Amino acid sequence: MRRLTALRAMRRLHGMHTYRCTRCGGLNRVPERRVTDGPICGRCKTPLDASGAPQSVNESELARAIESSPVPVLVDFWAPWCGPCRMAAPVLDRIARSRAGRVIVLKVNSDEQPNASARHHIQGIPAFIMFKGGAEAGRQVGLLPERAFADWVDRFALAA
């Protein structure tokens, strides 16, 4: 009986994507077949950005997303003065957009959110932390070549 219930739950979640509302921060599940229909946030009724583009967040928004996301959350800790961070931005954007709905990608400006950086023990930037199920699942300090970085992300994003 438990196995049958688990299989039904997997079928319901299969084909579901998750997007974060840029206005209220709510997490919204959208059936894969409906992503192109212009989905709206269930909480604030704002159109959802289903592009998967990285979103800037503050400390409380970060905590809420990590705790409640049903999909992995990749967080980029960066600063505007950091050359490697600026080089990482387009790579992160491409990776985020190609995994839209399967990974939520957030950016934390370490200069503006020092408490978030301290809470997550950031000692060098750029730093990328993957959260899964509300807990840290992986950490990468510094930018890898794009293919290696994409593979690192996929270890968490595509794992069951």
Question: What is the set of active-site residues?
Answer: 82, 85
Q: What percent of the chain has pLDDT over 90?
A: 83
3-state SS, residue 155: helix
Q: Tell which residue, 34, 36, 31, has the closest CA to residue 14.
A: 31
CA distance 91 to 134: 25
Q: What is the pLDDT of residue 39?
A: 93
Q: What are the boundaries of each domain within the chain?
A: 1-50, 52-160
CA distance 9 to 19: 20
Cis peptide upstream of residue 126 (ω within 30 degrees of 0)? yes
pLDDT(76) > 70: yes
Q: What is the pLDDT of residue 1?
A: 46
Q: What is the pLDDT of residue 157?
A: 79
Sign for the CA dihedral angle at 118, 64, 46, 34 comes to positive
Lowest mean pLDDT of 9-13, 48-52, 77-81, 109-113, name the range.
Answer: 9-13
pLDDT band at 9 (very low <50, low <70, confident <90, very high): very low
Length of the chain: 160
Packing angle between helix 146-157 and helix 83-98, nearest 10 degrees?
50
- Tell me the whole-structure pTM to 2 decimals: 0.88
Listed in order, strand segments (DSSP E) in the chain are 16-20, 27-31, 55-56, 73-78, 104-109, 127-132, 135-141
CATH 3.40.30.10 fits 52-160, yes or no: yes
